[in-house]
Amino acid sequence: MKERFELFTVLIAKISRSIRKIKTEEMEEFDLKSPHVSCLYYLFKSNNLTATELCEICQEDKSAISRSLDYLESKGYISCDSNLKKRYKCHLTLTEKGQKIGKIIADKIDEILEIASDGLTEEKRIILYESLTLISDNLEKYTKNIKHD
């Protein structure tokens, strides 16, 4: 069996690359990139969110989300109550065009999740996500405690 470090890091990297590739290839016809997909998906699922909330959900920094939102707004996928002084506090909603693409994205994600979890029982899936959450939380805690000399 491979060493734990190698197995863990290689598998996580492979999963991440596959997700990016799927997002890129599946959304190419709509001229959307990976961060756009995440924004549209979460807006579709939540009906409306602020940019700050999207940063948290997508685990992206403000500048990446801001660029994505500017692009999505310019393409007519989202709208924002721009009367607010701070754009990060305004509620973003999907336009009719955004709703259509949001539905396509949500359906595609459901399909891919079915493919990805083929062979997993519900019990194993629950254990997998609990384990990944624990690992993520532990690593996040560790990185906050790293001392910079």
- The per-residue pLDDT for 86 is 62
pLDDT band at 33 (very low <50, low <70, confident <90, very high): confident
Average pLDDT over residues 102-122: 94
What is the value of pTM for the model shown?
0.82
List, for residues 7-22, the tens digit of each pLDDT value: 899 999 999 999 889 9
Dihedrals φ, ψ of 48, to 5°? Answer: -155, 145
Q: Band of the pLDDT at 83, cuts 50, 70, 90?
A: low
42-51 pLDDT, tens digit per residue, is 999 998 898 8
- String of DSSP letters for 23-52: HHHHHGGGT--HHHHHHHHHHHHHSEEEHH
Query: Cα–chain-centroid distance for residue 12?
Result: 16
Query: How confident is the model over 43-74, as pLDDT tens digits?
Result: 999 988 988 999 999 888 889 999 999 999 99
pLDDT category at 148 given cuts 50, 70, 90 is: low
- The pLDDT of residue 2 is 61
Please name which of 50, 58, 10 lies closest in space to residue 34, comparing C-alpha atoms. 58
